[in-house]
Chains A and B, each alone.
Chain A
Amino acid sequence: MSVLTNNLDLFLRAFGQTLQLFAISGVLSLLLGTLLAALRVSPVPVFRAVGAAYVTVLRNTPLTLVFVFFLFGYPLLEIVKIEPYTAAVVALSLYTAAFVCEVVRSGINTVPVGQAEASRALGLTFVQMLGNVVLPQALRSVVPPMTSTMIALLKNTTVASGFAVFQAGTIRDSLSEQGENVLLGLLWVAIGFVILVMPLTYVQQTFEKRWSVAR
């Protein structure tokens, strides 16, 4: 316990950073992933190809390599300078978006084709159909896998440790510098993650309950 109480400030700041990384990357990846899914089901072949290529590349690249690119490779291109923290957000968002895209797309596939046909027959454009009819139903059916994707993102934030971005994954290094018991410290880190995941599970259950009634 003393590992925790002696370093409470460290733990709180680190988990605060983790939470922030997660929240920003979570929102960005949900938006980008949904947009990618829209591209992948669009009637325009070029859009579909772009969406498919994105998913293939990002989903098959280890996250660490995505980080390496944005922290070390991208600066060499000398386009716009980005801080390591921003680079971490970008890497996490782009990487997770590929998974969000596939989850959303699987949800779109569960929506009966008649829903889209009725929308088109009424004069809705592709974007109106997606936004008002197909996506709302698709997202309802993917709450569990989407929660899993978000939990994976939460844990993936620790990959930033290898790139000097301070967050819960770097607590270990700070503790070992101070000569604290690292293993005990790691146990507390794990408990911290469990505590962070719990609200996500709660959110999942709430959505599942709400949306199971409305059908």
Chain B
Amino acid sequence: MTAASAPPMIRMAGVDKFFGPLHVLKNVQLEVPKGQVVVVLGPSGSGKSTLCRTINRLEPIDSGVIEVDGQPLPAEGKELARLRADVGMVFQSFNLFAHKTIVENVMLAPTKVRKIPAAEARKTAMELLERVGIANQADKFPAQLSGGQQQRVAIARSLAMKPKVMLFDEPTSALDPEMVQEVLDVMTSLAKEGMTMLVVTHEMGFARKAADRVIFMADGEVVEDSTPEEFFSAPKSNRAKDFLGKILTH
């Protein structure tokens, strides 16, 4: 599957993004081949979330090119909706549909977007819930679940669309410490199965164990791009050293 001719799953070239006068992404170059797990690190405000959100065009960019599986991101509309269906996204705040039960949350997009019959969608949804260990909560509402459980449902909801690539924006940051691991376990198993993943996280354990590659961002720039071993043992830039010093000491 690593044929040289295959396009990268994600390609960003010369991407710039402004929020008003604020230059949030500065000439970002990034290629993520199929099956690779990339962890994005960086201090608060460095543009990690923005980077993540530009890939499925939740944030439009001001210049540059973004391609997903060789296809440039279309403008807002049906085309873009189709592309987003192939790009899973997991948010820090879960964002489960509050008025729908757990199983309905997982079934919604497959039935509405992929037009899969309800019975079949329910079966797949239950299998996915089984996989993330929440099948017994299928008929509850999101508010009745713990944060860790909600985030696992959110992952199942994304997987139900059979995405080509998954984006995670600090999936464990809103969780109580004792629930972090259950979510990381699900993500680690996904990584092992060969899912292409871009993960913004401060979980160094996950980065070391599951990532093929670490991207370090500061002030909207990709400052380092290396393997986890390299990055953690021998960071090149002072900013990365500074950052690692801060997070590893507490």
Contact = CB atoms under 8 A, between A and B. Distances in A.
Contact of A118 (B87, B97, B112): B97
A43 B76 contact: yes
Of listed A114, A118, A132, residue having the most chain B CB within 10 A: A118
Contact of A125 (B58, B81, B91, B95): B81
A20 interface: no
Interface stretch (A133-141, A183-191, A198-206): A133-141
A133 to B, nearest CB: 6
B108 interface: yes
A144 B143 CA distance: 23
Contacts of A118: 89, 91, 95-97, 154
A204 to B, nearest CB: 18
B97 A133 contact: yes
Given A123-B81, A124-B81, A132-B108, A115 B87 contact: no
B23 interface: no
A124 B93 CA distance: 19
A122 B109 contact: yes
Interface string A126-155: 001000110011001000000000000000
A1 interface: no
B131 interface: no
A122 B154 CA distance: 11
B56 interface: yes
B141 A121 contact: no
A114 to B, nearest CB: 4
A115 B105 CA distance: 11
A117 to B, nearest CB: 6
Contacts of A115: 95, 97-98
Contacts of A117: 58, 91, 95
Contact of B58 (A43, A120, A128, A140): A120
Given A117-B91, A214-B141, A123 B99 contact: no
A209 interface: no
B108 A123 contact: no
Interface in B120-160: 141, 143, 154, 157-158
A123 B58 contact: no
A121 B99 contact: no
A123 B97 CA distance: 14
Interface residues of B, number: 30
B157 A122 contact: yes
Interface string B49-91: 0000000101000000000000000001010011111111101
Interface string A92-129: 00000000000000000000101101111111110010
Contacts of A112: 95
Contacts of B91: 114, 117-118, 121
A121 B89 contact: yes
B99 A214 contact: yes
B235 to A, nearest CB: 32
B113 A122 contact: yes
Contacts of A215: 98-99, 141, 143
A132 B78 CA distance: 17
B30 to A, nearest CB: 19
B207 interface: no
A121 B58 contact: yes
B161 interface: yes
Contacts of A136: 99
Contacts of A133: 97, 99, 108
Contacts of B89: 118, 121
A137 B100 CA distance: 10
Given A117-B58, A122-B113, A128-B113, 11 more contacts: A43-B76, A112-B95, A120-B81, A121-B91, A122-B84, A122-B85, A122-B158, A123-B84, A128-B112, A132-B108, A214-B99
11 contacts: A114-B91, A115-B95, A117-B95, A119-B97, A121-B58, A121-B158, A122-B109, A122-B157, A123-B83, A215-B98, A215-B143
